[in-house]
Structure 1
Amino acid sequence: MAFHVSLVGRNDLSGEIYRQIRQAILDGRLRPGERLTATRELAGALTVARSTVAIAYEALIAEGFATSRTGAGTFVSHQLEAKGPASKTRRSTSRAIRVRDVWQTIPLPPHFLCAARYDFRTGIPDASLFPHRSWRRVVAHALRSRETAVGLYGDPAGSRDLRAAIARHVGVSRCISGSPDDIIVTNGTQQALDIIARVLLEPGDVVAVEKPGYLPPKQLFKALGARVVGVPVDSEGLVVEALPAEARVVYVTPSHQFPLGMAMSLPRRRALLGWAEQCNAVVIEDDYDSEFRFGGRPLEPLQTLDTTGRVVYVGTFSKTLLPSLRLAFMVVPPSLREAMYKAKFVTDWHTATIAQNALARFIDEGAFARHVRKVSRIYSERRELLTAEIRCNFGDYLHLIPSSTGLHIAAYARTASLGEIDAAASRAFDLGVSIQSFPLDGKPQAGIMLGYGAIETSRIAEGLRRLRTCFDERVSRRSKAA
């Protein structure tokens, strides 16, 4: 890599080259053993005489910052202990640059950075089950494709092959009606929601979300200037009667409500669509882990029931494959297609082409369907074990919420508050167990979520045993305090 040296406005050219390279070595930007740019090459880049660079290199060698090997070049000395990159000197300002207040209210998700041996976090699939060999093969094929060889920007809506594959897949697996033209490929669900919000929302518009619900969409809508209103849920899902009439958009997780886990009933789904038509609103249907259903009859998606073009269906491959692939999609009604297409274009132009082409082939070959069937059997086993253990060993602490879909189960704490659950979760993490809690609207008790995607089946029992000790410790402290 060519090293950048600035000589603009400098007089002592050799000295300036020496000082800037010396400082880069001290800062650690040039590491011990790294080869310096050849004198002839650096001289040409700086438009100076080769002797000017040679003098600077000789000074570096003389002071022990570099060594020279005949026929090989000049290298940073191994005798130097590299330091970490120094912080840049910043211009002093009379006032700090002000950011919008909303960014002070949005935390980063630290729990995604903290893996544990007994990992019950939600929304994380088992990476060890990912079909690496099959995926490498389809990626290799994508790298050899004509589209990759040409090296041009792609279609903002996504690869035509992938959109066609997705349309076939959701048409069969979820009875979603839509052509490839109705599909837009995105970098994860969150970008899909961002595009929808850009197209539909003005600052101050009302967005209705489930309460309790999935936090990142709420934070996104809030960051974009929308007024976010929480709407309660019950055993049938979102309470439609509680929706604010002025809501422009409603965000729901009807197949597997997050975090509680219930499915929205068919009467409630029809009521929501009727409300959206009456109030001229759009419904975002986040079908984030509907592929994993372990009981009960499947309910028709809102998008399938929709007859007036009010539903934007959002799906993702983060749970079925890997979150790191950042591949998701929207099925949009015809009235929104052009605007959504343009919004994707101005956001990032298009999602990575190689990954799209690989996924298209992966789906068309049937490898995706086989993978989902395989992991579903494993996740089903984990779910049954986790559910049985909770009922058997946590009945005095937790009330399990019925659920037949997804990659996590949820439970109400019978007496513990959110603070007590968080304290138990913190203690559990010290013991290698990771769980997540959530507040319950209008109730002193809290809830917990236990995911079974990331944890190995053989570790579930021991992880729960350790968690149980944390609950027992909490009760013991409460008794002593009383």
Structure 2
Amino acid sequence: MNVHLTIHGRQGLAGQIYRQLRAGVIDGRLAPGERLPSTRELATQLGVSRKTTLDVFERLIAEGYLRSRTGDGTFVADEMTRLAPRPPRTAMLHPSVALWESLPDVLPMTSRERPPEFDFIGGVTDKALFPFDQWRRCVSHALRVLARAPGGYRDPAGEQELRLAVSRYLAFSRAVVSNWQDVIMTQGAQQAIDLLARVALRPGDVVAVEDPGYPPARTSLLAAGANVVPVPVDDEGIIVDRLPPEARIVYVTPSHQFPLGMPMSLERRLALLAWAQQHGALIVEDDYDGEYRFEGRPVESLKSLDKAGVVAYVGTFSKTIFPELRVGYVIPPAPLGVAMRKAKQIGDWHSCTMTQTALAKFMLDGYFAKHLRRMHKEYALRRALLLHALQHDLSPWLRPLPSSAGIHLVAEIRADAMTGSGVEAMLVERAAAARVGVYGIAGMYVAGRPRPGLLLGYGGIGTDRLRAGLDRLKAALERRPS
């Protein structure tokens, strides 16, 4: 028989032939018991000396891949049957694959194939307004620091300067008082939630989440093996009386409930803290965009009211700088601190030192506070424009839900304007046909009856484009479907 081998150049001929024959045996292209050409035939076929092929065969015979029968030839060893490929048995080889495959998709993402011309996706910021010149100076500073420092792995909890900057910022802006040693830097808020689930849960433990709620957090808890129980919300936040008594974790977004937008009332906050203390549960407070508050006085964070040590405070720079930065933080209760550091170290050892060093300088030199003030003013204008459109031009179809913070609004679909079980999807499709990206909230419910509505983000769309996008959305809604 002819064996298909490829020779590249004239160097290492024996090694090239050996590796290709061995690979053919291992991957099953040369079957057990199959007869190989003689060393003379193979040498002629490849244009090499017979000594080269003799050396290769002798090595493969010595290693057990081939067998030689005097007067009969050389064959692939019968023992190689155990290497023959078999159909994969995914469930047997990877028992957790079924769990991961069953997890739902998280938040909607903009299509790269045909992105909308006007995109109202939530949770993104306007990078056109970010002070990249200042950031470039901070990155240059970080590079100089790294160039002078010896190489090595760093503290899993993060760089001291950044942890200090975060603790000062939270004390001033969110009344969260902590030592810098209490802060653990993460790859966004999502990793913070994942780490908390790793250290505070065992498979099968009950976790309570808001319904509707933030899908990525719910998915992360499901991936940890938790029994996730949806708990309804009302105008004051999660309904404490509906919490399952066996819950080990309660995940909430009290400053700006995701997605509906209302803040948790002070009375409800105090009731939740008392419940957690009574039941020995951990509250995970996700303060994802509480920096942007446009009405009323600042609302106390749960962490600032926590005297019993039951709250883990989670934050992110994704909504204040931009999501690609991938920097978040968590301040866990003291008893979880050591476990969280170890879990972070096992997961990725530590976050990017250069990014942390640059961000620390950005904050400590006052650039971050100046950027926040500028963005607050800009987002207030965008929010006012969106509310005006919802209350006037778009009012025949949509009604805004009360919301005093954040960078998105939810507008419910008026029952007197559109009816039917698929009204939300129909409206989203009609907008998409007009190249306007709007996003339904039905997928953010688990057990509750979905309230048909749209999540309209204004963080990533400039003022002029926001106006034009709202005009395009109105025209799409006025157009009768064919």
TM-score (normalised: structure 2): 0.78
Determine the structure 1 residue equivalent to 2:109: 111
Q: 1:373 to 1:179 in 2, by over 3 A?
A: same
- The answer as to 2:466 corresponding to 1:468 is no
Aligned with 2:197: secondary structure? helix
Question: For 1:188 and 1:392, how far apart are their aligned partners in 2?
Answer: 37
Determine the structure 2 residue equivalent to 1:459: 465
| Alpha-carbon offset, residue 159 of structure 1 | 0.2
Determine the structure 2 residue equivalent to 1:151: 151
Question: What is the correspondence of 1:276-315 to structure 2 with a 5 Å cutoff?
Answer: 276-315=276-315
| Alpha-carbon offset, residue 444 of structure 1 | 6.2
Question: What is the correspondence of 1:251-400 to structure 2 with a 5 Å cutoff?
Answer: 251-400=251-400
| Alpha-carbon offset, residue 427 of structure 1 | 2.9
Letter in 2 for 1:95: P
Question: For 1:362 and 1:223, how far apart are their aligned partners in 2?
Answer: 35
Letter in 1 for 2:101: Q
Determine the structure 1 residue equivalent to 2:456: 450
| Alpha-carbon offset, residue 196 of structure 1 | 0.2
| Alpha-carbon offset, residue 424 of structure 1 | 2.1
Question: For 1:448 and 1:269, how far apart are their aligned partners in 2?
Answer: 27
Aligned with 2:461: secondary structure? coil
- The answer as to 2:197 corresponding to 1:188 is no
The answer to whether the 8 A contact 1:254-1:287 is kept is yes
- The answer as to 2:252 corresponding to 1:249 is no
Deviations 1:418-460 (A, max 9, x none): 6222222123223221111112665464111101111110012
Q: Percent of aligned pairs with the same residue?
A: 44
1:93 counterpart (73, 86, 108): 86
The answer to whether the 8 A contact 2:434-2:476 is kept is no
Aligned with 2:452: secondary structure? strand
Letter in 2 for 1:464: L
Deviations 1:247-278 (A, max 9, x none): 00000000000000000000000000000001
Aligned with 2:141: secondary structure? helix
Question: For 2:148 and 2:245, how far apart are their aligned partners in 1?
Answer: 48
Question: For 1:228 and 1:234, how far apart are their aligned partners in 2?
Answer: 19
| Alpha-carbon offset, residue 131 of structure 1 | 1.1
The answer to whether the 8 A contact 2:295-2:405 is kept is yes
TM-score (normalised: structure 1): 0.78
Question: For 1:250 and 1:217, how far apart are their aligned partners in 2?
Answer: 11
Count residues in correspondence: 401
Question: For 2:105 and 2:172, how far apart are their aligned partners in 1?
Answer: 39
Determine the structure 2 residue equivalent to 1:29: none
Determine the structure 2 residue equivalent to 1:410: 410
The answer to whether the 8 A contact 1:123-1:319 is kept is yes
| Alpha-carbon offset, residue 468 of structure 1 | 2.3
| Alpha-carbon offset, residue 168 of structure 1 | 0.5
Question: For 1:112 and 1:458, how far apart are their aligned partners in 2?
Answer: 20
Determine the structure 2 residue equivalent to 1:198: 198
Question: For 2:294 and 2:421, how far apart are their aligned partners in 1?
Answer: 29
Question: For 2:259 and 2:8, how far apart are their aligned partners in 1?
Answer: 55
- The answer as to 2:135 corresponding to 1:132 is no
The answer to whether the 8 A contact 1:205-1:248 is kept is yes
The answer to whether the 8 A contact 1:295-1:404 is kept is yes
Of residues 388-397 and 319-328 in structure 1, the stretch that sits farther from structure 2 once superposed is 388-397
Determine the structure 1 residue equivalent to 2:35: none
Aligned with 1:393: secondary structure? coil
- The answer as to 2:431 corresponding to 1:428 is yes
Letter in 2 for 1:423: M
The answer to whether the 8 A contact 1:141-1:358 is kept is yes
Question: For 1:437 and 1:335, how far apart are their aligned partners in 2?
Answer: 40
Question: For 2:98 and 2:15, how far apart are their aligned partners in 1?
Answer: 47
The answer to whether the 8 A contact 1:170-1:176 is kept is yes
Letter in 2 for 1:375: M
Question: For 1:444 and 1:276, how far apart are their aligned partners in 2?
Answer: 28
What is the root-mean-square deviation in Å for CA atoms of aligned residues? 2.6
Letter in 2 for 1:431: A
The answer to whether the 8 A contact 1:212-1:233 is kept is yes
The answer to whether the 8 A contact 1:123-1:453 is kept is yes
Deviations 1:95-139 (A, max 9, x none): 342353222232365524444221100000001111111111001
| Alpha-carbon offset, residue 14 of structure 1 | 7.5
Aligned with 2:422: secondary structure? helix
Deviations 1:210-263 (A, max 9, x none): 000110010111111100011111111111111010100000000000000000
Q: 1:148 to 1:384 in 2, by over 3 A?
A: farther
Question: For 1:329 and 1:113, how far apart are their aligned partners in 2?
Answer: 29
| Alpha-carbon offset, residue 92 of structure 1 | 4.4
Aligned with 2:293: secondary structure? coil
Q: 1:96 to 1:387 in 2, by over 3 A?
A: same
Aligned with 1:374: secondary structure? helix
The answer to whether the 8 A contact 2:106-2:219 is kept is no
